[in-house]
């Protein structure tokens, strides 16, 4: 098992990518801490993990609140005394299909808070544990939108910030045997995406798939498998990288 005896925190664990990542980590032997604002969703994922013999715990938190983040890490330190892996997956697009002249302060701020600030603050708290133990894997969730997307303006800015932050984190923490990398997915088919678009999902999915060299959109497991590699010691000489899980999009 690639993550045997490791303690891993997965934020956004109730969502499609977060839940797939938590399950993969558990399958590979990690003790997985699942965090999300959606406690019920986390409990459902934990039940699936435990039914397959895995181990985990739910710590609900609103990661747009620094106090929730600090309290979560305090609980982790008190209960486990260590943290080997942090997967910063929490986030989302909260101002889609908006032109530059229609950007709102409220939605812009939430995009930055939920995506970028949560990543920075969770990484800060994780580093305080990982530096002392001289070991750690930090995996951040960017997006191919970090390159720029005309209809995802503030989301692209937040994801671009995550990419820059990840490189800087790698420079700061490499001497402590801590790897920091980011994953930048293209379109991933999740339940929330299907539910949001409803009957428009299928034609949208097909139109995007036709543009990708692999002729399909991504699945949560595609991202989870990349996260697993970055969380394992197989990636011990990889840091500061933005890995696109994109089916070849934007080549």
Residue 54 is part of a domain; what is its CATH number?
A: 3.40.50.720
* More confidently predicted of 170 and 197: 170
- Per residue in 21-67, pLDDT (tens digit) is 999 999 999 999 999 999 999 999 999 999 999 999 999 999 999 99
| Predicted local confidence at residue 193, as pLDDT | 83
pLDDT digits (tens, 9 = 90+) for 158-167: 999 999 999 9
Query: Would you state the pLDDT for residue 61?
Result: 98
The answer on pLDDT for 251 being more than 90 is no
Domain region containing 127: 7-189+219-245
**Global pTM value:** 0.96
Whether 220 has a pLDDT exceeding 90, the answer reads yes
Highest mean pLDDT of the ranges 140-149, 185-194, 233-242: 233-242
> With 90 as the cut, is the pLDDT of residue 196 above it?
no
Q: Is residue 22 part of a domain?
A: yes
Question: Could you read off the pLDDT of 69-103 as tens digits, one per residue?
Answer: 999 999 999 999 999 999 999 999 999 999 999 99
Residue 232 confidence (pLDDT) = 98
Residue ranges of the alpha helices (H) in 15-141?
Answer: 16-27, 39-51, 66-80, 105-111, 118-133
Q: Which two tokens stand for residue 62?
A: 């609103």
Give the mean pLDDT of 104-114. 97
* Catalytic residue selected from 80, 110, 146, 155: 155
CA distance 181 to 179: 7
Report the 3 state secondary structure along the chain: CCCCCCEEEEECCCCHHHHHHHHHHHHCCCEEEEECCCHHHHHHHHHHHHHCCCEEEECCCCCCCHHHHHHHHHHHHHHHCCCCEEEECCCCCCCCCCCHHHCCHHHHHHHHHHHHHHHHHHHHHHHHHHHHHCCEEEEEECCHHHHCCCCCHHHHHHHHHHHHHHHHHHHHHHHHCEEEEEEEECCECCHHHHHHHHHHHHHHHHHHHHHCCCCCCECHHHHHHHHHHHHCHHHCCCCCCEEEECCCCCC
Q: How many domains is the chain partitioned into structurally?
A: 1
Confidence of residue 131 (pLDDT cuts 50, 70, 90): very high
Could you confirm whether 155 is annotated as catalytic? yes
Whether 54 is in a domain gets the answer yes
83 domain-assigned: yes
pLDDT of 195 > 90? The answer is no
In a domain, 211, yes or no: no
pLDDT band at 197 (very low <50, low <70, confident <90, very high): confident
Quick one: pLDDT band at residue 192, thresholds 50, 70, 90? confident
Q: For the segment 10-33, what is each residue's pLDDT rounded down to a tens digit?
A: 999 999 999 999 999 999 999 999
Residue 196 belongs to some domain of the structure: no
- Over residues 98-116, mean pLDDT: 97
Domain assignment of residue 208, yes or no: no
- Report yes or no on 89 lying in a domain: yes
């Amino acid at each position: 098992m690639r993550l045997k005896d490791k303690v891993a925190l997965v934020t956004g664990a109730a969502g499609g990518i977060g839940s797939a990542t938590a399950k993969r980590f558990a399958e590979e032997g990690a003790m997985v801490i699942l965090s999300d604002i959606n406690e019920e969703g986390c409990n459902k994922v934990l039940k699936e993990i435990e039914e397959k013999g895995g181990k985990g715990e739910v710590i609900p938190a609103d990661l747009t609140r620094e106090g929730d983040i600090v309290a979560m890490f305090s609980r982790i330190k008190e209960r486990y005394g260590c943290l080997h892996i942090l997967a910063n997956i929490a986030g989302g697009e909260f101002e889609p299909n908006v032109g530059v002249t229609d950007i709102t302060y409220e939605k812009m701020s939430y995009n930055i808070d939920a995506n970028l600030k949560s990543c920075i603050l969770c990484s800060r708290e994780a580093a305080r544990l990982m530096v002392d133990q001289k070991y750690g894997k930090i995996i951040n969730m960017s997006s191919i939108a970090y390159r720029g997307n005309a209809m995802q303006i503030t989301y692209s800015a937040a994801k671009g910030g995550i990419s820059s932050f990840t490189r800087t984190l790698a420079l700061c923490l490499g001497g402590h045997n801590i790897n920091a990398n980011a994953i930048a997915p293209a379109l991933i088919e999740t339940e929330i995406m299907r539910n949001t678009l409803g009957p428009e999902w299928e034609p949208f999915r097909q139109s995007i798939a036709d543009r990708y060299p692999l002729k399909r959109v991504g699945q949560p497991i595609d991202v989870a498998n990349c996260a697993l590699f970055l969380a394992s010691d197989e990636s011990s000489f990889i840091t500061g990288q933005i890995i696109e899980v994109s089916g070849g999009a934007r080549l």
